[in-house]
Amino acid sequence: MYSFLNDYSEGAHPLVLDALIHTNSEQTVGYGCDVYCQKAKEVILKRIQNQNADVHFLVGGTQTNMTFISYVLRDYQAVIASDEGHINVHETGSIEATGHKVITKPHQEGKITVEMIQALLSEHTDEHMVQPVMVYISQTTELGSYYTLKELQTLYAFTREKGLYLFLDGARLGSSLVLEDAPNMAEIAANVDAFYIGGTKMGAMFGEALVIINDNLKKDFRFQMKQKGAMLAKGRLLGVQFYALLKDSLYEDIGRHENEMAMIIKQAFEEKGYSLYVPSFTNQIFVDLDSNIIQAIEKEFMVTHIKKINEKKERIRIVTSWATPVEEATKFAELIRTL
């Protein structure tokens, strides 16, 4: 039974795995101070067209979000997110566990808007409430949508006007980089205070690359990494992987493939008259289906149950990855057409 549960079921893209094997017997210094981390940083700085940024390699997304957000915020400060934001829903209260509240509004097609931010600022007006200081967004979003360049520019201009930091979670960044009206890496770097380049969900064995743009958020961050258990002794394992992913077009190739596999499935749903919960052009599809249809699907494929809509209907998620064979995506589409 083929799994469409997530985009990290498999190990690593073969080219990433080859790079790890090829360098396996080499001896390097630790904690991200090795030549491979340096090469990966150089590639990232070139891609974002900013030689002044700081780059740090961490192991996972929740670790990166928790380590960076808790570093930026003072004890009485909070981070703004949509109600579907990963830090609000799927990180086991890791931000709150560091003493910082996540304040939210209902999402707009998975995204946060200027109006949502303004509403939250209007609700937190004085020292009797937490002070919103950061806005957290994801590219792509947790629901498979994405921010266009114009939307990102609008958010960044507003956050600067209001004295807020804008932080972008790029766990699935490669899925958006290949879309025509989405920002490229340099445009992201020009319109956020910090972001991370996802590896775990983008063909790496594990790892995320945090890029800090704002000079005010850089000082002593490695102290924070070490204290929060986010500094990997075998740091070169992260550098090797990100260099392999980013030195040429592999990262975008992975994003393009997973999107194409998802679109095969999406088209079949649309042909049958099923509308997606949120419009998606990326590798995550959310659709509401009758339970008997879900049961038919699950005789051949594994999908994630997201939410019970009523007694007869549920919302499911279908996710493709770098490793999704076109044969399996096509078989899924053919099954949908027979339902």
Query: In the chain, which residue ranges form alpha helices assigned H by DSSP?
Result: 14-22, 35-48, 61-72, 86-89, 94-97, 114-123, 149-161, 173-177, 185-189, 221-227, 236-246, 250-271, 291-297, 326-338
Query: Tokens for 304?
Result: 């994630």
> Bridge-partner residues for 166, per DSSP?
135
Residue 240's pLDDT is 98
Q: CA 67 to CA 94: how far, in whole Å? A: 9
Task: For strands 165-169 and 194-198, give the pairing.
Answer: parallel
Residue 108's pLDDT is 96
Structural domains for the chain: 2-8+253-338 (3.90.1150.10), 14-246 (3.40.640.10)
Peptide linkage before 304 cis (omega within 30 of 0): no
Q: What is the block-wise mean pLDDT of the chain (339 residues), using blocks of 10 residues?
A: 96 98 97 98 98 98 98 98 96 96 97 98 96 98 98 98 98 98 98 98 98 98 97 97 98 98 97 93 97 96 96 96 98 96
Contact 164, 69 (CB under 8 A): no
From 83, 44, 82, 7, select the one nearest 188 (Cα to Cα): 44
Residue 275's pLDDT is 86
Alpha-carbon distance values, 280 to 117, 147, 155, 266, 267 (Å): 23, 11, 21, 9, 11
